[in-house]
């Protein structure tokens, strides 16, 4: 009797181990959202959008992950782990357009769909890149705001995210081109520095700009982390009204700085929508419903559909401008 019970227990344990050890696929589609780094409010909002897409789709589970600091190495390690976990798709905001290509290709070879969003991977490293908006619009908008804030003349500087970030580098490229236009002849870009999307480093870089360029009139920070840090630096250096900060920010993080006068206006798209659309698109790829050729339409759920261009990129809507008139309303959203 005792022996039979022991035997039964052993069999049951074996069955349990067996089912845990086998690699049967979980029923839900697992989509990993790999962000530049954790602790960034912009990506927290994108995560919110990803969860919304998962709820709507019903059969999707979101794994939200990213390194603690925005490095390609950190993301490579994470993707390696996700390959072992056999996730169905990776939705990534890349810290480097090229360094991540080999690991992304390894993932794709194993059948994992790779979509980049926000900060893109080179075309050979992903199935699609979802841009928040058109890069020319984003770049030009930031120069327009800076020029407008300083009365069309004076020194400006850029405080960016990390030096390899695909998205910021594309926007900075556009900004430099736009500055060549005759209407901006009196606006002079004197420096571009990198705060790595870390609050403390961004703050130190902003203080450095203010102290080494006494005639500086504006700082453009095309990053939600940098713009907050630069605004704080301007306030701490008692330069409100003399130096204006603009760029891309989250209304929820910028409201105080708009009220203090350190910021007159800034822009951004809806990061919740961006995370939602990227996750929805990834699910479409997993279902085999999306093509990768130029002209292919990819459904992005409640936001309609996007069309891929020759580089496999698509864009959502134009950025929106925030100032003292509308900041309170949007600060409640993201």
Name the site residues for ligand RAM (rule: CB under 6 A).
36, 40, 42, 93, 118-119, 161, 167, 197, 223-225, 248
Nearest approach in angstroms of CB 286 to ligand RAM is 24
Measured from the CB atom, the residue of 159 and 286 that comes closer to ligand RAM is 159
User: DSSP readout, 171-199?
Assistant: HHHHHHHHTTSGGGTTEEEEEEEE-TT-H
**Residue sitting closest to ligand RAM (CB):** 42
Measured between alpha carbons, how far is 228 from 254 in angstroms, rounded to an integer? 7
Nearest approach in angstroms of CB 226 to ligand RAM is 7
Measured from the CB atom, the residue of 36 and 141 that comes closer to ligand RAM is 36
Measured from the CB atom, the residue of 149 and 202 that comes closer to ligand RAM is 202
Nearest approach in angstroms of CB 248 to ligand RAM is 4
Three-class secondary structure assignment of 74-91:
HHHHHHHHHHHCCCCEEE
Measured from the CB atom, the residue of 40 and 116 that comes closer to ligand RAM is 40
Measured from the CB atom, the residue of 225 and 282 that comes closer to ligand RAM is 225
Q: How far is CA 263 from the centre of its chain?
A: 22
Three-class secondary structure assignment of 99-168:
CCHHHHHHHHHCCCEEEEECCCCCHHHCCEEEECCCHHHHHHHHHHHHHHHCCCCEEEEEEECCCCCHHH
Do the beta carbons of residue 107 and residue 114 sit within 8 Å? Answer: yes
Nearest approach in angstroms of CB 29 to ligand RAM is 25
Tokens 């209407």 map to which residue? 183
Nearest approach in angstroms of CB 63 to ligand RAM is 19
Measured from the CB atom, the residue of 116 and 119 that comes closer to ligand RAM is 119
Do the beta carbons of residue 309 and residue 294 sit within 8 Å? Answer: yes
Nearest approach in angstroms of CB 234 to ligand RAM is 18
Structure token pair of residue 27:
């029923």
């Amino acid at each position: 009797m005792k022996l039979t019970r022991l035997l039964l227990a052993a069999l049951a344990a074996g069955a349990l181990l067996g089912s845990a050890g086998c690699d049967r696929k979980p029923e839900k589609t697992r989509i990993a959202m790999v962000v530049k780094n954790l602790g960034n409010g912009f990506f927290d909002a994108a995560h919110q959008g990803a969860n919304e897409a998962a709820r709507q789709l019903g059969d999707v589970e979101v794994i939200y992950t990213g390194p603690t600091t925005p490095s390609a190495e950190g993301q490579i390690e994470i993707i390696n782990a996700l390959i072992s976990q056999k996730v169905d798709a990776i939705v990534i905001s890349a810290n480097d357009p090229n360094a991540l290509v080999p690991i992304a290709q390894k993932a794709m070879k194993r059948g994992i769909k790779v979509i980049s969003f926000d900060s893109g991977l080179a075309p050979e490293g992903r199935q699609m890149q979802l841009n928040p908006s058109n890069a020319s619009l984003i770049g030009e908008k930031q120069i327009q705001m800076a020029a407008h804030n300083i009365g069309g003349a004076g020194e400006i500087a850029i405080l960016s995210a990390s030096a390899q970030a695909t998205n910021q580098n594309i926007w900075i490229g556009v900004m430099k081109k736009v500055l060549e236009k005759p209407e901006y002849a009196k606006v002079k870009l004197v420096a571009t520095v990198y705060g790595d999307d870390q609050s403390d480093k961004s703050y130190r870089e902003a203080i450095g700009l203010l102290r080494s360029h006494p005639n500086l009139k504006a700082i453009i920070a095309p990053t939600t982390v940098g713009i907050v840090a630069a605004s704080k630096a301007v306030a701490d250096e008692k330069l409100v009204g003399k130096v204006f900060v603009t760029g891309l920010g989250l209304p929820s993080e910028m409201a105080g700085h708009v009220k203090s006068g350190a910021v007159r206006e800034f822009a951004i798209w809806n990061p919740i929508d961006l995370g939602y659309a990227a996750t929805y698109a990834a699910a479409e790829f997993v279902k085999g419903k999306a093509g990768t050729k130029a002209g292919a339409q990819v459904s992005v759920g409640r936001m309609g559909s996007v069309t891929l261009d020759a580089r496999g990129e698509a864009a959502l809507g134009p950025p929106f401008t925030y100032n003292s008139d509308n900041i309170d309303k949007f600060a409640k959203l993201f």
